[in-house]
Amino acid sequence: MTEKVDISTLNGTNGFTFINGNTNDDNLGYSVSSAGDINGDGVDDIIIGAPQADPQAKGNAGASYVVFGSKNGFAPTIDISTLNGINGFTILGATESEAAGRSISAAGDVNGDGIDDIIIGAPFADTNNNNNIGSSYVVFGKNSFSSNSTIDLSNLGNNGLVINGLNAEDELGYSVSSAGDINNDGIDDLIIGAPNAYTTSNGKPGQTYIVFGASNFDSSFNLNSLNGSNGFVINGQSIEDYSGLSVSSAGDINNDGIDDLIIGAPQAAPNGTNSGQAYIVFGKNGSFDSAINLADIDGTNGFIINGQEGDKLGFSVSSAGDINNDGIDDLIIGAHDADPNGIMNAGQSYVVFGKNGNFDPIFDLSTLNGNNGFVINGINEFDNSGWSVSGVGDISGDGIDDLIVSANNADPNGESSGQSYVVFGKNGSFASAINLTDIDGTNGFIIDGIAEFDNLGNSVSGAGDVNGDGIADLILSAPFASSQSGEGYIIFGINSAPTDLLLSNNSINENVASETVIGTFTTTDPNVKVQTFSYSLVAGNGDADNDAFVIDNGSLKIKLSPDFESKAVYNIRVKTTDQGGLSYEKELTINVNDLDDEGNNTAPTDLALTAITIDENVASETVIGTFITTDSDAGDTFTYSLIDDDNYPDNGAFSIDGGNLKINQSPDFET
């Protein structure tokens, strides 16, 4: 892998670019995410938010765009105005200034119909004349959107679910995410942040709402109905903590088999102003209390991570997948205003490894040592690394999950052009600190923004496997590119070509039936994740006998019954192709085993017995000797029998067992 990926060279084979036509100021890509597989075709899809879009002349109502994944390739550039229900669809904000698409996420399968859903946040919606009460919209997946190329959130109906905030200025939907299956009932759940929400005891510390998935949602869900069995509310600790500014599933960080969640409160002050906090809440079987106070987190039900003064830890939070490959999910938390190595606002990100069982109530980031996690240090002043963080799956194709960290104010190609960094996972421990200056292509790679003020990396995310090659992809954005119309970029995971091809058996007996299976193909591929491969007979060196064979579902069959005397050896050339279209070719030799052919069998020419004498008085059933046959047909087996004929009166004194001659009774020389 090269040290840098140049997004200006994305050509459809290594990734592609989203553009917004000539529509300025939409901020396409302000948020980006995987959409899961929302159309149920077996290939992952993506969603891009444009919160400043003006659909149907509704100023800043916002829009979101779902682009379907495909195994058939992509053009280098996709204009989201061309989405037609076949290649994706458009989602229009409901009301003026609600900024739908400011936050977006895959939602998992929240209605239990077997198809993934998505969630869209509109934090500035003014429902029922409540200013900035905020709304969130769940759009249900289905097998076809061909008749729904545009979905209007103001008329969602049975296409999804509307969730409105409770009070003015709550800004519900500022952050949205799947929560995984936090109550372990087999249906995915939702997590929605309202960072400006009010609680009677603590002013406006922020709130987060968990809505359990169900198969019987109405068209709207009232958060006042949360009772612990259908979901619950999580109350922030202190005024202006902005708890819920960022939310995410945490995977299963305590390895109890149930998903957990993480909430960021970047303006909390455990160690001084704006030090920030992140809260992990453990999932459990069944119901929860209707309300959980983050102040009650004690290590058994979750744990707390505190930042340092001014760091704004928790501005971004995410699962990191399993980056150390120990079988337990890990976390990543951004602190974009941190000052690593004394460099002001260079930013830091913290990776905390999952483990079995409970954690201490407060996880001390100063104890990160490479065995329990590590810190990622930004490079330059005001880069703000950690602005957006995410797990991206296994983009390197080595079988271990990777992650991405953005520094949207970095200046690689002009002021605030932006930069993002992919850090590869590996087995076991890491260094206690990784400096982003050390990314060199072997441990990760760098993505530079193209132009001044693009702010590449405003949002970063894993994209799932958009091109269906079996390797995870990533998505990131530059929402202020092209006169703030915005752009998004998909970078495909690193697919390596197969390196070998094997056939489980390379010989076949003559005279077997036509269409007999000779053996099954297997492929060696550097991409550790299990892929599927297709096999074909191809022209080239060693292809002389290709026409005599056919490949059926990875098995080699001979078309006609083989005859050793006519042809003893076949030569073929086979190609294996991975899901991404990369291939390897190999010459193979198939040998025909010589057997006796009916009608061409040559009779034995001699019969011998290894011994023709026996001592008197030996026991009955004593073996005298073993028969040996001379025959010109190689590989033949023989059976032996005593002839029932009066010309051989002594045959009755003997028996044959296998190939051995035995005397029935003890012999006596005198008689």
| SS3 per residue for 221-276 | EEHHHCCCCCEEEEECCCCCCCCCCEEEEEECCCCCCCCEEEEEECCCCECECCCE
* Mean pLDDT value across residues 112-135: 96
Residue 599 has pLDDT above 70, yes or no: no
What is the pLDDT at residue 2?
A: 79
pLDDT band at 600 (very low <50, low <70, confident <90, very high): low
Q: pLDDT for 28-80, tens place per residue?
A: 999 999 999 999 999 999 999 999 999 999 999 999 999 999 999 999 999 99
Rounded Cα distance, 572 and 519, in Å? 14
What is the pLDDT at residue 532?
A: 86
Q: pLDDT for 370-398, tens place per residue?
A: 999 999 999 999 999 999 999 999 999 99
pLDDT band at 23 (very low <50, low <70, confident <90, very high): confident
Which residues are registered as beta bridge partners of 246?
264
What is the pLDDT at residue 1?
A: 65
| Selection from 494, 486, 574, 638 nearest residue 102 by Cα | 486
pLDDT band at 646 (very low <50, low <70, confident <90, very high): confident
Residue 531 has pLDDT above 90, yes or no: no
pLDDT band at 556 (very low <50, low <70, confident <90, very high): very high
Q: Which domains does the chain have, with CATH numbers?
A: 4-491 (2.130.10.130), 500-593 (2.60.40.60), 606-663 (no CATH)
Residues in the chain: 671
Phi and psi at 528, nearest 5°, equal -65, -35
Q: pLDDT for 488-523, tens place per residue?
A: 999 999 888 899 999 999 999 999 999 999 999 999
How, if at all, do strands 606-609 and 246-251 pair?
Answer: unpaired
CB 564 within 8 A of CB 510: yes
* Mean pLDDT value across residues 565-590: 94
Which distant-in-sequence residues (6+ apart) come within 8 Å of 59 by Cβ?
Answer: 96, 97
Phi and psi at 523, nearest 5°, equal -125, 140
Q: pLDDT for 205-246, tens place per residue?
A: 999 999 999 999 999 999 999 999 999 999 999 999 999 999
Residue 200 has pLDDT above 70, yes or no: no
pTM, two decimal places: 0.83
CB 444 within 8 A of CB 385: no
pLDDT band at 597 (very low <50, low <70, confident <90, very high): low
Sheet strands (E) in 307-400: 316-321, 330-335, 348-352, 362-363, 373-377, 385-393
Percent of the chain with pLDDT over 70: 97
The mean predicted confidence, pLDDT, of the chain is: 95
Residue 311 has pLDDT above 90, yes or no: yes
Residue type at position 70: S
What is the pLDDT at residue 530?
A: 62
| Selection from 541, 492, 635 nearest residue 16 by Cα | 492
Rounded Cα distance, 333 and 263, in Å? 10
* Mean pLDDT value across residues 607-611: 92
What is the pLDDT at residue 604?
A: 87
CB 464 within 8 A of CB 34: yes
Helix (H), strand (E) at residue 484 = helix 481-484
What is the pLDDT at residue 596?
A: 62
What is the pLDDT at residue 22?
A: 63
Percent of the chain with pLDDT over 90: 87
Rounded Cα distance, 285 and 306, in Å? 28
* Mean pLDDT value across residues 122-132: 93
CB 482 within 8 A of CB 80: no
pLDDT band at 119 (very low <50, low <70, confident <90, very high): very high
